[in-house]
A and B are shown apart, each in its own frame.
Chain A
Amino acid sequence: MLQFVLSGVAIGSIYGLIGMALAISFYVTCIINFAQGQLMMVTVMVTAELASSGYPVWLAALAGVACSCVVGILSYVIAVRPILLSNRFSFGWLVSTLGFAVIVENAAAYIWGPTSQAFPPILNGISLPIGGAVLTAQQLLAIVTAAVLAAGFEIVRRHTLFGKLGMATAADPEMASAIGANTTVVAIVAFAVSAIYAGIAGLLIGPSTFANPYLGDTFGTYGFIAMMIGGGTERPIAAMFGGLLLGVCAEGANALINSQASDWFPFIVLVLILIVSPKGLFSTSNPLFRPRRAAVTRG
Chain B
Amino acid sequence: MSEQPTLEINALCAGYGRFDVVRDVALSVGKGEAVALLGPNGAGKTTVLRAIMGLVKQRRGLIRIGATDVSALPTHRIARGLAAIAPEGRRLFLDQSVEDNLLLGALHLRHDKARTQTLLASVYDLFPVLKAYRQRLSSFLSGGEQQMVAIGRMLMSDPEIMLLDEPSVALSPVAVDIVVKAMLELRKRGASLLLVEQRTDVATRVCDRLYVMTHGEIVDQMKPETIRSGGMSILNKYLG
Query: In the docked arrangement, what's the CA distance between A168 and B95, Å?
Result: 9
Residue of B nearest to A186 (CB): B76
- Interface residues of A, dominant DSSP: helix
- Residues from chain B with a CB closer than 8 A to the CB of A183 are 76
Which of A175, A179, A298 neighbours the largest number of chain B CB atoms within 10 Å of its CB? A179
Q: Give the Cβ gap from B74 to chain A, nearest Cβ, in Å.
A: 6
CB atoms of A179 and B104 under 8 A apart: yes
Tally of contacts, chain A with chain B, CB under 8 A? 62
Q: Give the Cβ gap from A71 to chain B, nearest Cβ, in Å.
A: 27
CB atoms of A180 and B157 under 8 A apart: yes
- Residues from chain B with a CB closer than 8 A to the CB of A178 are 53, 55, 75, 79, 84-85, 87
Query: In the docked arrangement, what's the CA distance between A172 and B75, Å?
Result: 14
Query: In the docked arrangement, what's the CA distance between A178 and B84, Å?
Result: 7
Residue of B nearest to A294 (CB): B55
Does A254 count as interface, using CB distance less than 8 angstroms?
no
Q: Out of B74, B87, B96, name the residue touching A299 (CB < 8 Å).
A: B74
Residue of B nearest to A299 (CB): B74
Query: In the docked arrangement, what's the CA distance between A272 and B84, Å?
Result: 48
- Residues from chain B with a CB closer than 8 A to the CB of A180 are 76, 79-80, 107-108, 157
Does A134 count as interface, using CB distance less than 8 angstroms?
no
- Residues from chain B with a CB closer than 8 A to the CB of A211 are none
- Residues from chain B with a CB closer than 8 A to the CB of A161 are 103-104, 107, 110
Does B224 count as interface, using CB distance less than 8 angstroms?
no
CB atoms of A181 and B76 under 8 A apart: yes
Question: How many residues of chain A get a CB closer than 8 Å to chain B's CBs?
Answer: 18
CB atoms of A177 and B104 under 8 A apart: no
Question: How many residues of chain B get a CB closer than 8 Å to chain A's CBs?
Answer: 25
Q: Give the Cβ gap from B65 to chain A, nearest Cβ, in Å.
A: 14
Query: In the docked arrangement, what's the CA distance between A117 and B157, Å?
Result: 55
Q: Give the Cβ gap from B98 to chain A, nearest Cβ, in Å.
A: 13
CB atoms of B55 and A164 under 8 A apart: no
Q: Out of B87, B95, B108, name the residue touching A175 (CB < 8 Å).
A: B87
Does B93 count as interface, using CB distance less than 8 angstroms?
yes
- Residues from chain A with a CB closer than 8 A to the CB of B54 are 298
Q: Give the Cβ gap from A237 to chain B, nearest Cβ, in Å.
A: 14
CB atoms of A167 and B76 under 8 A apart: no
CB atoms of A168 and B104 under 8 A apart: yes
Q: Mark A223-267, 1 if CB is under 8 A from B, else 0.
A: 000000000000000000000000000000000000000000000
Does B234 count as interface, using CB distance less than 8 angstroms?
no
Q: List 12 A-B contacts (CB under 8 A).
A: A161-B110, A164-B93, A165-B107, A167-B93, A167-B96, A168-B93, A177-B76, A179-B157, A180-B79, A180-B107, A180-B108, A298-B54
The 10 closest A-B pairs by CB, nearest first: A180-B79, A177-B75, A180-B107, A180-B108, A175-B91, A168-B93, A180-B80, A182-B76, A177-B76, A180-B76
